[in-house]
Amino acid sequence: MAKTGVIGAGSWGCALAGVLDENGHEVTVWSVLEEEISMLQEKHEHVEKLPGVMLSKKICFTSDLRAAVEGMDLLVLAAPSAFTRSTAKRMAPYVSSGQIIVCVAKGIEEESLMTLTEVVEEEIPAADAAVLCGPSHAEEVGRKLPTTLVAGAKTRQTAEYIQSVFMNEVFRVYTSPDVLGMELGGALKNVIALAAGMADGLGYGDNTKAALITRGIAEITRLAVCMGANPKTLTGLTGIGDLIVTCASRHSRNRRAGMLMGEGRTMQQAMQEVNMVVEGVYSAKAAIALGRKYKVSMPIIEQVNQVLFEDKSAREAVKELMLRDKKAEHTSLEWE
């Protein structure tokens, strides 16, 4: 049995707390919101973000960060990406040397262009920062539907430990040393999912969605490889797998926000209606900044940024993508 602390009591934090409890581990869940903790203590259900998923009465819910961090064998950092740095800064005094912190949010910090594990390492140098990601919606994990993810870490020992803590008959976990590739795939797919949602909101069909997914993974892979990631990672669960589920699922908040924008809402109106953190909006500026830094062409992500922040219509963005200069699909393929 492992002592585990889940830092962040949103839908994903609560779903993963349920997995850890099901596996027989001691689980403490922390939230900065007193009213959220009171609700979870009283109802053992996140009635707003994960309705219908009942959480075990063995799980401890607390607003005392020290109690959720100090002495834990493993920490799950489930705060939204925009709050990763501020949360890590608050955790730092209670983290011991070598303590494992598993980042499960997906994003790139806009100001620094750092991945989330890089943010954690900067704020908590003593920590062993790792990542757990893949095609997974909290709603389905909470209902114990079969799900497969990847644990990424600098050492095989840490990745295999995370794998052993989380894995069960409905929650399969692979391991990978390519933390950077995993994090870039997980963050940038949210931006592509906004585009896929916009296409849905405009009433476009499966052809459009397939094109966005395929060309989207090409953009993500180009950037990731330039930054030092392994291209194989982007063909796997944390690349194309995560992209497919986020672009297609009714549970995807990024797709939902994009759909609302395709229907004519502004970015702010869409975020208010979704009423949950839309990670792709926070990652979009960082993504285009990385593209420019590494001189990588990212036309889909560029158009998404213009819709989000420059009042461009989604319909005009799709038109510009379709009317770009003629190109070969794979420049590495040669004619005989």
**Residue pLDDT, tens place only, 21-69:** 999 999 999 999 999 999 999 999 999 999 999 999 999 999 999 999 9
Strands 128-133 and 147-152: antiparallel
Q: CA of 298: how far to CAs of 116, 220, 301, in Å?
A: 22, 8, 6
Q: How many whole angstroms separate alpha carbon 27 and alpha carbon 75?
A: 10
Give the pLDDT of residue 279: 81
- List 49, 106, 189, 209, catalytic entry: 189
Q: How many CA atoms lie within 13 A of 128 on its CB side?
A: 19
The CATH number of the structural domain formed by 180-322 is 1.10.1040.10
List the domain boundaries for the chain.
Answer: 3-177, 180-322
Give the pLDDT of residue 239: 96
- The 3-class SS string of the chain reads CCEEEEECCCHHHHHHHHHHHHCCCEEEEECCCHHHHHHHHHHCCCCCCCCCCCCCCCCEEECCHHHHHCCCCEEEECCCHHHHHHHHHHHHHHCCCCCEEEECCCCECCCCCCEHHHHHHHHCCCCEEEEEECCCCHHHHHCCCCEEEEEECCCHHHHHHHHHHHCECCEEEEEECCHHHHHHHHHHHHHHHHHHHHHHHCCCCHHHHHHHHHHHHHHHHHHHHHCCCCHHHHCCHHHHHHHHHHHHCCCCHHHHHHHHHHCCCCHHHHHHHHCCCCHHHHHHHHHHHHHHHCCCCCHHHHHHHHHHHCCCCHHHHHHHHHCCCCCCCCCCCCCC
Judge whether 321 and 214 are in contact, CB under 8 Å: no
Q: How many whole angstroms separate alpha carbon 151 and alpha carbon 132?
A: 5
Give the pLDDT of residue 266: 87
Give the pLDDT of residue 329: 87
- Its pTM stands at 0.93
CATH of 3-177, one of 3.40.462.40, 3.40.50.720, 3.90.1580.10, 3.40.50.1010: 3.40.50.720
Asked if 144 is an active-site residue, the reply is no
**Grouped pLDDT means (10 residues each) for the chain, 336 residues:** 96 98 98 96 95 96 98 97 96 97 95 96 97 96 97 98 98 98 95 93 92 94 97 96 92 90 89 81 91 95 93 89 83 86
